[in-house]
């Protein structure tokens, strides 16, 4: 019996396409998740999150 690779588990997980909120992070099934791991995917800067003035 062949044991599948652990990477196969991640390939079989359902995909959730969500937006990233600057103040709350992502919302999946009613729960909010936020952290530095989202930074590469965000189109905003966390340093100025919630600040509406333009940075100079």
DSSP assignment string, the chain: -PPPPTHHHHHHSPP-----BTTTBEEETTEEE--GGGGGG-SS-STTTT--SPP-
What pLDDT, in 10s, does the model give residues 1-50? Answer: 888 888 998 889 888 788 888 888 898 889 999 998 888 888 766 555 55
pLDDT for 42: 80
pLDDT number for residue 45: 60
Whether residue 56 has pLDDT greater than 80: no
């Amino acid at each position: 019996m062949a044991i599948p690779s652990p990477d196969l588990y991640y390939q079989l997980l359902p995909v959730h396409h969500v937006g990233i909120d600057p103040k709350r992070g992502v919302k999946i099934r009613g729960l909010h998740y936020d952290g530095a791991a989202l930074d590469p995917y965000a189109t905003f800067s966390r340093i100025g999150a919630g600040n509406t003035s333009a940075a100079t």
